[in-house]
Amino acid sequence: MKISVIIPTFNRYKMIGRAINSILEQTYKPYEIIIVDDGSTDETKHLIHDEYPTIKYFYQSRSGVSKARNRGIVESKGDWIAFLDSDDEWLPNKLEKQKENLKQNPTILVSHTNEIWIRNGVRVNQMKKHQKYGGYIFDKCLEFCRMSPSSIMIHRNVFEGIGNFDEDLSVCEDYDLWIRIASKYHVTYLETPFIKKYGGHKDQLSKVENGIEHFRIQSLEKILASKMLTKEQTTDAKEVLLKKLSIYSNGLKKRNKLEELALVKKKILNWTITL
């Protein structure tokens, strides 16, 4: 099994070494490590060239994490793709355990694992609503992002079937890809945590002005328009979309954004009619 590991990064000079070292310390070594630097202005480039000369390093002008991950996919040579965010780290047997699990399930093309959450240096418990699953999990992926980019491993053929990360999305690009994957593929899940996911720092992409649900709504509208869903999946997606639109409209009303509110109410009416 040839595993290409892709790290997208932007100005994470002080964190990325931890991520890289956690890959180098794996009990099952990856085929290659690829870093796509999305326009860093700090010392990231010099760090990689000086301390990690065997790593494949690509620099691009600031274009977003989706384009960075997609560049990594294009440049990669492995048959399996694993991602690691530059502020996270893997436990030493992460790749080995996923490889063993996939060997036992040779028809499975997507694997993810549980994770340890650390916020501002303190371990925190995940809420029940963030429970992760394996199997055909499309309906469970609609509400929240059920898989972490740093935990997932995907066979190259999957991208050929459903496409790469949506470069038009500044956030929720992972949610968008997961619902497309889950609509077509069985996913295997390892309940043991194999990654440490760090949060609380100022540059996290999930901190967005319009709220994260705005982008999830965009993704749901897109997948419904694609006609790639089964009848049952279409119904599930419409129900969740209407729920999210309703919550979003309440927020617009509170903020007195009446013009956008009128557009959202029209969407709610149109999607209700199609149910």
pLDDT digits (tens, 9 = 90+) for 150-165: 999 999 999 998 999 9
Q: Given its phi and psi angles, is residue 248 left (phi above 0), alpha (psi -120 to 50 degrees) or beta? A: alpha
C-alpha–C-alpha distance, residues 35 and 59, integer Å? 8
190-219 pLDDT, tens digit per residue, is: 999 999 999 876 655 545 545 789 999 999
Same domain, 85 and 191: yes
What is the tens place of the pLDDT at every residue in 122-152?
Answer: 999 888 888 999 999 999 999 989 999 999 9
Q: pLDDT for 30-87, tens place per residue?
A: 999 999 999 999 999 999 999 999 999 999 999 999 999 999 999 999 999 999 999 9
Looking at the structure, tell me whether residues 147 and 189 fall in a common domain: yes
Q: Assess whether 9 and 129 both reside in one domain.
A: yes
- Go through 156-187 and write b for each residue having 16 or more CB atoms within 10 A of its CB, e for each that does not: bebbeebebbbeebebbbbbbbbbbbbbbbeb
194 with 234, same domain: the answer is no
53 and 153 belong to one structural domain = yes
Q: Which of 160, 181, 199 is the last residue of a domain?
A: 199
Same domain, 120 and 49: yes
For the segment 76-93, what is each residue's pLDDT rounded down to a tens digit?
999 999 999 999 999 999
pTM, entire model: 0.92
Q: Verify that 189 and 259 share a domain, yes or no.
A: no
CATH classification of the domain holding 37: 3.90.550.10
Q: Nearest to residue 135, comparing CAs of 192, 175, 187?
A: 187
Q: What is the mean pLDDT of residues 93-101?
A: 98
Q: Are residues 187 and 146 in the same domain?
A: yes
Pick from 9-13, 218-222, 253-257: least confident? 253-257
Asked if residue 275 has pLDDT above 90, the reply is: no
Domain range for 248: 230-274
Task: Report the SS3 class of residue 266.
Answer: helix
- Give the position of tokens 């997606």: 237
Number of domains, the chain: 2
Cα 47 from Cα 147, distance rounded (Å): 30
Residue 208 lies in a domain: no
Instruction: Point out which residues pair with 187 in neighbouring strands.
Output: 110, 135
* 210 belongs to a structural domain: no
